[in-house]
Structure 1
Amino acid sequence: MTRVSFGDLAQSQLLRRSSSAAETRLARLAAELASGKRSDLATATGGDFKLLAGIERSLGLLKSHTATAREAALAGGAIQVSLEQVQSVVETAANNFAIAGTNGAAQAVRITASGADQQLAAVVAALNVNVGERYLFSGIATDQRAVGGAEEMLSSLIAATTGTSTASGLQSAVRDWFDAPPGGGGFLDVVYGGSPDAGGGFPISPGVGATFAVTGADPCLRRSLEGLAMAVLLDRGILDQDDAARSQVLAAASETLMSAGQGIAELRGRIGTVEAAIDSALIRNDAEVSALEMARGRIVSADPYDTASALEEARNQLEAIYALTARLSNLSLLEFLR
């Protein structure tokens, strides 16, 4: 029988290669056990990365949409809080103006009108809410304040009502100023600093956007400022010699504010509908992300039990190679002849 044997050098090289391969496999399995992920994705995917790439792309898009949806939810919440503040001021002022205007007493009108300054300033502050460097009532011009200062508004209104001597004349002049189109020298030119177009939509899920169609130029918000501004004009001395006309103006301001309050309630309802859509999108996005992460996990995750078993097998194999190497290293002629 022909015997085939290896020389010492060849045998040494064979053991070294076997040892290196066993060590590499041991290190790979240890890393997989620690990370929970397979290191050889080519084998895990069968060489076809299209499915895994598609899952990763979808996850990236969904997570991006989720971040945008959270931003939209924050903006919607801030808009609701601001509108609630405006509505509270408007309803309180409307009731107070109605009582004083109906009473007709000059002192009651004067005292009630004296508090309108602060109420107007509160509404202006609420409409200039800023979240994440975005003015929420400025339409697409989110870097601009929605409403300028109250004093700037009143200065322009005083100029527009100069010479007015009747309650109806004052009401018409103030209404015309607030409703003047761009270029007419009214509210849109002097005070409103935003864009006439509502802000761009937030992409909250694939193919779905959320838009808060509200600006500081919304009619109900203009009516809110209008009603309060009329009372402030009375406090600034307009129609100071005609107590009856001042009472009429305050009563008209109350009616304007009541109308504005109804409009704000409807506006808040529309914003609430958008908020509900955002909440639904967030739930849907989270569910889809969970499903995709599970699908990805089935591809890239290493089974801990199988990995631990393979790791133990690799360790035993490496120990066997080390033992064999040690035995061969101790061979001598005397041992061989025995």
Structure 2
Amino acid sequence: MTYISSSSMTSPLRSSILNAQSALTQAQTEVSTGTYADIGLQLGGGTGHLLSLRSNVDALNTYTQTNAVASTRLSATDTALTAMLSTAQTLSATLTSAQSSGSSLTGLAQAGQGALEGLIGGLNTSAGGQFVFAGTATQTTPIADYTATSSAKSAVETAFQAYLTANGVTASTISGSQMQSFLSNQFASLFSSGGWQSSWSSASSQTMTTSITPSQTASTSVSANQGAFQTMAQAYTMLTEFTGDGMSADAKAAVVATAGKLVSTGIAGLTEVQAGVGVTQTAISQANTQIGAQTTLLSSSATNLDSVDTYALSSQVTQLQTQLEASYSLTSRLQQLSLVNYLTAG
């Protein structure tokens, strides 16, 4: 006895259609992404090498991102230092003129105050939500404002009054030599490391260290506790406090001479600090170039492993679509068959 069934004819066709649909879906995915849909199946043991390449690329990209943050910090630092140097150079010229020509010292207190405010403002520069001169204490304002109620101003006034009392003089009668002695000793101690961090600075002396490549680190911040800033603050503060109308002429002359030397020293120090920032910026730029070359090489190697031939796949997609359309048509025709049609056809 012979059994006649359309199901026996359509079942293999349905299986073929399912396989073709699966192959078409995979091919379309690979055409759109440009990579293999199943890396493990395609590469086998080479999959580990591909994953290693991608991991290395991700790690290098992390260095690039970290370097970008460091570059922003250093750029803000450099800008602030440039402004500090400009102010110092202008004031240095004013002090030199005052000493050489014997011109009036009127206005030096205001000039000193303006320079001091600019220095404090510069040292309190922030970028990306971080204080760039705070060392590792990036969330802490490095330098307190110099105001009537600040501990720094109080320390200066207390030290000066104690010196005047101990020597039996007043601000209007203190001699040039006495003023020089005070500036070189009691006053200078207020700007030493201990005095500076006690009354002026909340910055950390430890600077930020950044890994700019897998094998290279760099100091990517500046601390307000560096000597150049203490020197400038010392010069500006003595001009602010001790060149007013109440001081003796000899005392003012001593202040101007001392401040002039300090400003010159401070300029050299600021220049050195800025040069260090420039060296680090160059190192980061070179590191980024190196990282870019490595990333390109590794990415290219990874692409060579997991990339597909989109042209060939596009042809395959077309063939599979044509095959499926033919299969759908044949399936439809088979489903329309009946026993009567079969017997009639026979």
Query: Normalising to structure 1: TM-score of the pair?
Result: 0.90
> Hey, what does 1:206 align to over in structure 2?
214
The separation in 1 between residues aligned to 2:8 and 2:79, in whole angstroms, is 81
- Counterpart code for 1:30: Q
Deviation at 1:236, TM superposition (A): 5.1
Task: Within 5 Å, give how 1:183-194 maps onto structure 2.
Answer: 186-194=195-203
Task: Within 5 Å, give how 1:27-176 maps onto structure 2.
Answer: 27-105=25-103, 108-151=104-147, 152=150, 153-162=152-161, 163-164=163-164, 165=174, 166-172=178-184, 173-176=186-189
The separation in 2 between residues aligned to 1:205 and 1:336, in whole angstroms, is 80
Deviation at 1:65, TM superposition (A): 0.7
State yes or no: 1:336 paired with 2:336. no
Deviation at 1:131, TM superposition (A): 1.3
Deviation at 1:261, TM superposition (A): 0.3
Can you list the C-alpha shifts for 1:235-259, whole angstroms capped at 9, x where unaligned? 456xx34202212211210111011
Task: Within 5 Å, give how 1:191-270 maps onto structure 2.
Answer: 191-199=200-208, 201-212=209-220, 214-235=222-243, 240-270=246-276
Is the 1:83–1:268 contact (alpha carbons within 8 Å) kept by the matching residues of 2? yes
> Hey, what does 2:292 align to over in structure 1?
286
> Hey, what does 2:191 align to over in structure 1?
178
- Counterpart code for 1:198: T
- Counterpart code for 2:85: Q
| Structure 1 residues 335 and 83: alpha-carbon distance in aligned structure 2, compared to 1, 3 A threshold | farther
| Structure 1 residues 174 and 161: alpha-carbon distance in aligned structure 2, compared to 1, 3 A threshold | same
Is the 2:144–2:200 contact (alpha carbons within 8 Å) kept by the matching residues of 1? yes
- Counterpart code for 2:264: M
Deviation at 1:335, TM superposition (A): 5.2
Is the 2:124–2:141 contact (alpha carbons within 8 Å) kept by the matching residues of 1? yes
Secondary structure of the residue aligned to 1:147 is: coil
Is the 2:133–2:221 contact (alpha carbons within 8 Å) kept by the matching residues of 1? no
The separation in 1 between residues aligned to 2:44 and 2:323, in whole angstroms, is 27
- Counterpart code for 2:189: D
Is the 1:100–1:112 contact (alpha carbons within 8 Å) kept by the matching residues of 2? no
| Structure 1 residues 278 and 333: alpha-carbon distance in aligned structure 2, compared to 1, 3 A threshold | same
The separation in 2 between residues aligned to 1:212 and 1:248, in whole angstroms, is 39
Secondary structure of the residue aligned to 2:108 is: helix
Identical counterparts, % of pairs: 21
Secondary structure of the residue aligned to 2:191 is: helix
| Structure 1 residues 241 and 235: alpha-carbon distance in aligned structure 2, compared to 1, 3 A threshold | closer
> What do you get for the CA RMSD once the two structures are aligned?
2.1
The separation in 2 between residues aligned to 1:17 and 1:121, in whole angstroms, is 83
Can you list the C-alpha shifts for 1:214-271, whole angstroms capped at 9, x where unaligned? 311111111111111110012456xx34202212211210111011101111111111
The separation in 2 between residues aligned to 1:145 and 1:249, in whole angstroms, is 30
Structure 1 unpaired stretches of 5+: none
- Counterpart code for 2:180: S
| Structure 1 residues 13 and 202: alpha-carbon distance in aligned structure 2, compared to 1, 3 A threshold | same
Deviation at 1:87, TM superposition (A): 0.8
213-222 or 114-123: bigger deviation: 213-222
State yes or no: 1:9 paired with 2:18. no
The separation in 2 between residues aligned to 1:46 and 1:249, in whole angstroms, is 80
